[in-house]
Amino acid sequence: MISLNPYRIGFRTIKTAVGMALGIIIAKLIGLDNFASSAILVVLCIKHTKVHSLQAIVSRFVSCFMILIFGSIAFSLLGQHAIVLGIIVLFFIPLTVVFKVQEGVVTSCVILLHVFNAQTIDLHLFINEILLLVVGLGIAFLMNSIMPSLDSNLKHYKQQIEQQFTAIFETFSETCQKTNISIDISFKQLKFTIRKAKSIAFRDVKNHFVRNENSYYHYFDMREEQLELLHRMALIIENIETKDCMLTKISNLFAEVATNVNSNDYTALRLHSLYEIRLELNEAELPTTHESFRTRASLLQLLNELEAYLAVKSQFGSLRLHSDQKVTI
């Protein structure tokens, strides 16, 4: 049985429909020939981000202007024949690649067909096609300037990731009280969530012409780096074989980190607590059995990984939005 996707009208669909209608109405009011072609320009230039839209508009305008001149000259000299049309396309497409405007090939072919079907190739035709480009691409630019804010989505992902980090540290704290316990945490799913959040943050950058970075993107990148350290810590905890006098203190440290995952103010305090535990481990008596010796080595390695986690957080600092408003993380 065929599976159908759920029916949904997105914001981009609405912009495309409105833009197409406006393009045809304006082009018809101006009295342009082939006024319906302005709708094609709108459809081809509606993109997910403002930057991509502007790039598409520039690419299509340049390629259409090139084909308008190229086609007008070729048809005037060789005649408006199908073979001439094919030769023009044969040489024009590689030319767009040279000038890096190949994205406008489809739009250019529409303009080329207007020239091919024109009764006379003159200044009126040239002006008509330029105005079609201005109307279609101009409306596409206006439609793409209206983009929904992604801040709420970014904040949602930030809170979701922090909650999962808190749950992980709570699990670490509980597991340290036991030995040889398997930790049931979906690190792959959390990594997928972080990468999805990074992609949205990157898209937010592309929705601003004067912004070349996004603090949220760096924040999620920092969390992705910390996630790798958490995964390594989980493997170490699972391999703890025997009880150790320091396990309770490490468990308490994990509990402290869990309650302050979204805060940067207490990172230095957590590092201080970690250094105290490490000093006690260095001064403690050496283990007497192989199992306890391996456990002690695991604890030292666990503290190293936790120190690296806290150092990553400390280096990142605080999350700053483009408006320079400070948000605690």
**CB 110, CB 23: distance < 8 Å:** no
pLDDT value at 327 more than 90: no
DSSP string, 213-227: --HHHHHHHHHHHHH
Residue 209 has a pLDDT of 45
SS3 assignment, position 150: coil
The predicted structure's pLDDT at residue 233: 92
pLDDT band, residue 265 (cuts 50/70/90): low
Helix (H, G, I), strand (E, B) or coil at 285: coil
pLDDT at 211 over 60: no
CATH of domain 150-322: 1.20.120.940
Please tell me which of 6-20, 145-159, 238-252 the model is most confident about, judged by mean pLDDT.
238-252
Instruction: Summarize pLDDT for 186-201 with one digit per residue, the tens.
Output: 888 899 999 998 888 8
Give the pLDDT of residue 183.
Answer: 78
Higher pLDDT, 175 or 324: 175
Q: Is the pTM of this model over 0.95?
A: no
- Reported as half-sphere exposure (CB side, CA atoms, 13 A), residue 121 has a value of 20
Q: Would you call 29 helix, strand, or coil by DSSP?
A: helix
Tell me the C-alpha distance between 64 and 129, whole Å: 9
Q: At what angle do helices 37-45 and 123-144 cross, to 10 degrees?
A: 40
pLDDT at position 329 is 39
**Gap between the Cα atoms of 164 and 23, Å rounded:** 48
Q: Which residues contact 210 (CB under 8 A, 6 or more apart)?
A: none
Average pLDDT along the chain: 82
The two structure tokens encoding residue 121: 């190739």
What CA dihedral angle connects 157, 161, 163 and 168, to 10 degrees?
170
Q: Is 285 left (phi over 0), alpha (psi -120 to 50) or beta?
A: beta
101-110 pLDDT, tens digit per residue, is: 888 888 888 8
| Phi-psi region at 183: left, alpha or beta (left = phi > 0; alpha = psi -120 to 50) | beta
pLDDT given at position 147: 65
Alpha-carbon span 123 to 13, nearest angstrom: 36
Compute the distance between CA of residue 240 and CA of residue 109 in angstroms, rounded to an integer.
68
Q: Within the chain, which residue ranges are assigned CATH 1.20.120.940?
A: 150-322
Task: Give per-residue pLDDT as tens, 151-184.
Answer: 778 888 888 999 999 999 999 988 887 766 677 7
**The pLDDT of residue 48:** 66
Helix axes 215-238, 290-316, angle to 10 degrees: 170
Q: Letter for the amino acid at 272?
A: H
Average pLDDT over residues 22-43: 89
> 53 to each of 9, 44, 50, 138, 141, how far by Cα in Å?
20, 9, 5, 11, 7
- Residue 45 confidence (pLDDT) above 50: yes
Q: Do the beta carbons of residue 204 and residue 178 sit within 8 Å?
A: no
β-bridge mates for residue 326, sequence order: 320
Q: Tell me the per-residue pLDDT of 106-129, one tens digit each, with 9 for 90 and over.
A: 888 889 999 998 888 888 998 999
Give 140-151 pLDDT, tens digit per residue.
Answer: 888 877 766 667
Q: What is the pLDDT of residue 226?
A: 92
Whether the Cβ atoms of residue 261 and residue 300 lie closer than 8 Å to each other: no
